[in-house]
Amino acid sequence: MAESVLEFKKVTHTFAGGTRGLSGVSFRAAPGEFIILCGKNGSGKTTLLRHMNALSLPSEGEVLVAGVSTRKNPVQARQVVGMVFSDVRNQIVGETVADDVAFGPENLGLPEEEINKRVKASLEAVGMGHMGDRRPYLLSGGEKQRTAVAGVLAMESRVIVFDEPFSNLDYPGVKQVLQQMVNLHGLGKTIIVATHDIEKVAAHAGRILVMDNGRLALDCSLEEAAPDLEKYGVRRPCASLFGREVDSWLE
Ligand code: ADP
């Protein structure tokens, strides 16, 4: 495998009170991979995601982001790994769309000229170049997600993590966000999608991680995982999607 952009090394997370959120989780993600993360409720997905950008730190083991431990450099982890949460309302902080996208680069202390350049390019990349002056609360669900994606792009994140991206979206919104993921993947970004809706991303993902009771139960291709998914409380996607020729959500 090429150099990892993200590596979990025997990561265990024990909450105050003793609950194990993660137990000995190890995997590596290379630049340009498209990975699905799934598992039933309480299996440890959110805890795993929080370790990817140093929102949580391991009780044991370590997480390396671009080769550097999140414990040593949490700021770098937050820059390299961008998160797009399902309820983006909580993620949007700016008065206007452009202010919101500028928030991350401003926190990096970049010069104003560089910030403006990044905001413009990021909004254009998500097809919202003409919407910088809009009020975020007036946007549709899909546009809010794309604003959050533009914020991550403005940070020049190499890994983009989507947490339940489809849960609050109607069909056009799902298509917009899915198209966005495919475009970002085309730009060489590593895409990680935590979702119960495997079918929506099945045609694009080369790999699936399945969590079960804090452990990484499966780490393989979708085809290999399919026979075992039900065992871990995950609905098996329709077999016709495995051929990759079919993309029922974008075509
Ligand atoms: P998922 O995202 O797959 O639903 P989580 O990562 O949220 O799972 O939770 C994994 C386990 O850790 C569950 O047993 C959950 O109850 C527990 N857990 C999550 N957050 C906390 C917390 N702040 N304190 C104690 N236990 C927690």
| Helix 112-125, helix 97-107: angle, nearest 10 | 130
- Please give the C-alpha separations between residue 244 and each of 134, 193, 199, 206, in angstroms, as whole numbers: 38, 18, 12, 10
pLDDT above 70 covers a percentage of the chain that reads 92
Closest of 212, 213, 207 to residue 225, by C-alpha: 207
Q: Is residue 250 part of a domain?
A: no
> Considering only CA atoms, which residue is closest to atom 25 of ligand 1?
15
Cβ atoms of 60 and 11 within 8 Å: the answer is yes
CA-wise closest residue to 250 among 216, 241, 39: 241
Q: What's the pLDDT at 243?
A: 46
Q: Quickly count helices (H) and strands (E) in the chain.
A: 8, 10
pLDDT at 88: 65
What token pair was written down for 136?
A: 């975020």
Is residue 177 assigned to a domain? yes
In a domain, 249, yes or no: no
The alpha helices in the chain, defined as continuous H runs, are: 45-52, 74-80, 97-107, 112-125, 141-154, 171-186, 198-201, 222-225
**Which parts of the chain have pLDDT scores under 50?**
242-246
Domain annotation covers residue 251: no
What CA–CA distance (Å, rounded) separates 175 from 144? 14
Provide the pLDDT for residue 251: 52
The CA–CA distances, whole Å, from 15 to 26, 57, 214, 215 equal: 19, 11, 12, 15
The whole-number pLDDT of residue 197 equals 87
CB 103 within 8 A of CB 94: yes
In 3D space, the residue among 1, 3, 49 whose CA is nearest the CA of residue 25 turns out to be: 49
Q: What is the ipTM of this complex?
A: 0.97
Domain that holds residue 20: 6-242
pTM: 0.90
**Does a structural domain hold residue 205?**
yes
At residue 133, the 3 state secondary structure works out as coil
Q: Is the CB of 39 under 6 A from ligand 1?
A: yes
Spacing, Cα 19 to ligand 1 middle (Å): 8
Q: Whose CA is nearest to atom 6 of ligand 1?
A: 44
The pLDDT of residue 166: 86
pLDDT value, residue 172: 82
| Alpha-helix residue ranges (DSSP H) falling in 4-111 | 45-52, 74-80, 97-107
Give me the pLDDT at residue 249, please.
Answer: 53
The residue contributing the CA closest to ligand 1 atom 1 is 42
Residue pair 26/69 in contact by the 8 Å Cβ criterion: no
Span from the CA of 113 to the centroid of ligand 1 (angstroms) = 42
Residue 203 lies in a domain: yes
248 inside domain: no
Q: What is the distance in A from the centroid of ligand 1 to the CA of 112?
A: 40
Q: At what angle do helices 112-125 and 141-154 cross, to 10 degrees?
A: 140
Instruction: Report the separation in Å between the CA atom of 101 and the middle of ligand 1, taken as the mean of its atom positions.
Output: 30
**The CATH number of the domain where 28 resides is what?**
3.40.50.300
Q: Is residue 235 part of a domain?
A: yes
The token pair at 171 is 């069909």
Q: Whose CA is nearest to atom 10 of ligand 1?
A: 44
Report the number of distinct structural domains present in the chain.
1
| 128 Cα–ligand 1 center, Å | 35
Per-residue pLDDT, 239? 58
Question: What is residue 1's predicted lDDT score, i.e. its pLDDT?
Answer: 52
Return the best residue to mutate from 47, 83, 163 for the ligand 1 pocket (most ligand atoms within 8 A of CB): 47
